[in-house]
Amino acid sequence: MIRSIDVQVTAPVYPTEVTDRVIDAITTLFPDAEVEQHPGEVIATTHTLETLSEALYDQKILDTARRQFLEGRQGDTFSFDLKKQAAFEGVVNFAVGQPDELGELHVRVRVNEPGVDAYIDHIAPATEDGQPPET
The neighbouring-strand residues paired with 105 are: 82
Q: What is the pLDDT of residue 90?
A: 94
Q: What is the C-alpha separation between 69 and 23, in angstroms, rounded?
A: 23
42, 13 contact by CB (below 8 A): yes
Residue 120: left (phi > 0), alpha (psi -120 to 50), or beta? alpha
Q: Is the pTM of this model over 0.75?
A: yes
Q: What is the C-alpha separation between 6 and 110, in angstroms, rounded?
A: 5
Q: What is the residue-level pLDDT of the chain in tens, covering all 135 positions?
A: 667 899 999 999 999 889 999 999 999 999 999 999 999 999 999 999 999 999 999 999 999 999 999 999 999 999 999 999 999 999 999 998 776 676 799 999 999 988 899 999 999 998 877 677 765
